[in-house]
Amino acid sequence: MDGKRGASMATIKDIANLAGVSKTTVSRVLNFDQTLSVSDDTRKRIFEAAEKLEYKKYKRKRVIDKGKIAIVQWMTEKDELDDVYYLSLRMSAEKKILDEGYEIARYFCDDEMYFGKGVIGIISIGECTPEQQQILINFTDHVVFVGMDILSANYDSVSLDFDQAVHSVIDFFIKTGHTDIGFIGGIDYGKTLPNHPVGKDKRTIAFEKYMCLMGIYKPENVFQSSFDVESGYEMMKEAINQFDKQLPTAFFTANDPLAVGALRALLEKDIQVPERVSLIGFNDTSVAKHVFPTLSSVRIHTEIMGASSIELLLERLETECKVAKKLIIATELMLRGSTVNEMKPFKN
């Protein structure tokens, strides 16, 4: 399954022009070059420019005095730059807010959660603890949770079909001749969330279940640490040292930064991608199109998720509907240079 975007990809030059920096700086930032000394403000401008160029342009409605919609991002502003998926979610929600004629009140997890009288509703992005949920709910019933399902608490949510996403990756690997498949994922050490086995997120759980179902699961092929580039690099180095010539022929990573780090470790050891190891990331952020080789990744439609969360909130505000809704957004597998895309028969 080869997903395709309707619009052409933004070039390094496009991003550089919009961010007001050089093409070299853009390339090094998008590749998470650890040797580059650049401010977080510059990184933010580059990532925001890359995301903006991915969105379709809509004519903005000019309506005033409608009130404010608060965006709560359950990570720090610095951490958001390390996982552009969350930046993209926030930007897509904020764009829809402005398109609908509302103002934005923006909060990160380390901000004081004080919502003024002008705030009429809240969009919560990312997973949060029950205590953090309660802070929002205490202020208003008009809350939509993005990336977290709390339908049982009678609140609207927008989330992903993680099983469908992970199955599409494993099915693709099998069809292209891979049965020895590794997984590089992350652990959220900072939150204790209901319905989560300790140390596992939804992608890890889906991977293990489906690999077991297909009869090809190997627990020694699963690596978990943090969700950043450096962790991806270290985990792939560990895998290379552990397996040597028996290194799995394919790896699925839980996000694109992990894939970028894993790719760097492979190339340092002259392990060819995709000839020796195929690699697929998750989220399909702007980063995926600008690394080398370009990264195959699971496309998350963040622009749809962000806009849909605002639509759910506005519907609740306008109708005072008391029935909670859960919107599940499908994903697409975007195939690029980090995978061999020729189909082969599966040999069990």
CATH assignment at residue 103: 3.40.50.2300
Beta bridge partners of 296: 280
Domain assignment of residue 224, yes or no: yes
Domain assignment of residue 264, yes or no: yes
Alpha helices in the chain (DSSP H): 12-19, 23-30, 40-52, 77-82, 84-99, 130-139, 162-175, 202-213, 229-243, 256-268, 302-319
188 and 267 part of one domain: yes
Query: Is beta strand 156-160 parallel, antiparallel or unpaired with respect to 68-73?
Result: unpaired
Number of domains in the chain: 3
36 and 94 part of one domain: no
Predicted pLDDT at 41? 85
Q: List C-alpha distances in Å: 170 to 119, 126, 156, 199, 202.
A: 44, 25, 30, 22, 15
> Could you tell me the residue range of the domain that residue 306 belongs to?
68-161+302-331
205 and 290 part of one domain: yes
State CA 205 to chain mean position distance.
17
Give me the tens of pLDDT residue by residue for the chain, a chain 348 residues long.
444 444 456 788 888 888 888 878 888 887 777 777 788 888 888 877 877 777 544 344 444 457 999 999 999 988 888 888 899 999 999 999 999 999 999 999 989 988 988 999 999 999 888 899 999 999 998 999 999 878 767 899 999 999 999 999 999 999 999 999 999 999 865 444 444 445 578 899 999 999 999 999 999 999 999 999 999 999 999 999 999 999 999 999 999 999 999 999 999 999 999 999 999 999 998 888 889 999 999 999 999 999 999 999 999 888 877 788 999 999 999 999 999 977 665 444
171 and 294 part of one domain: yes
293 and 166 part of one domain: yes
User: At 70, which helix (H) or strand (E)?
Assistant: strand 68-73
187 and 234 part of one domain: yes
The pair of three-digit structure tokens given for residue 228, joined into one six-digit string: 């950043």
Predicted pLDDT at 146? 96
113 and 241 part of one domain: no
**Rounded distance between C-alpha atoms, residue 301 and residue 275, angstroms:** 29
Its sign, for the CA torsion 52, 58, 62, 66, is negative
Domain assignment of residue 339, yes or no: no
Predicted pLDDT at 219? 97
Burial class (CB in 10 A: 0-12, 13-18, 19+), 104: middle
Query: Is beta strand 250-253 parallel, antiparallel or unpaired with respect to 181-186?
Result: parallel
CB 266 within 8 A of CB 279: yes
Domain assignment of residue 153, yes or no: yes
**Rounded distance between C-alpha atoms, residue 92 and residue 89, angstroms:** 5
135 and 205 part of one domain: no
**Rounded distance between C-alpha atoms, residue 157 and residue 128, angstroms:** 13
CB 222 within 8 A of CB 181: no
Domain assignment of residue 32, yes or no: yes
**Rounded distance between C-alpha atoms, residue 108 and residue 72, angstroms:** 6
| 129 phi and psi angles, rounded to 5 deg | -75, 165
Residues 6+ apart with CB under 8 A from 236: 184, 223, 251, 261, 262, 265, 266
194 and 260 part of one domain: yes
DSSP 3-state assignment of 25?
helix
Question: What DSSP designation does 56 have?
Answer: P
CB 69 within 8 A of CB 48: no
135 and 88 part of one domain: yes
Q: Which amino acid is at 337?
A: G
DSSP string of 76-145, one letter each residue? -HHHHHH-HHHHHHHHHHHHHHHHTT-EEEEEETTS-----TTEEEEEEES---HHHHHHHHHH-S-EEE
Domain assignment of residue 280, yes or no: yes
The pair of three-digit structure tokens given for residue 55, joined into one six-digit string: 């969105």
89 and 181 part of one domain: no
Predicted pLDDT at 103? 94
Domain assignment of residue 62, yes or no: no
**Rounded distance between C-alpha atoms, residue 263 and residue 339, angstroms:** 12
268 and 197 part of one domain: yes
Please state the pTM of the whole predicted model: 0.81
Domain assignment of residue 89, yes or no: yes
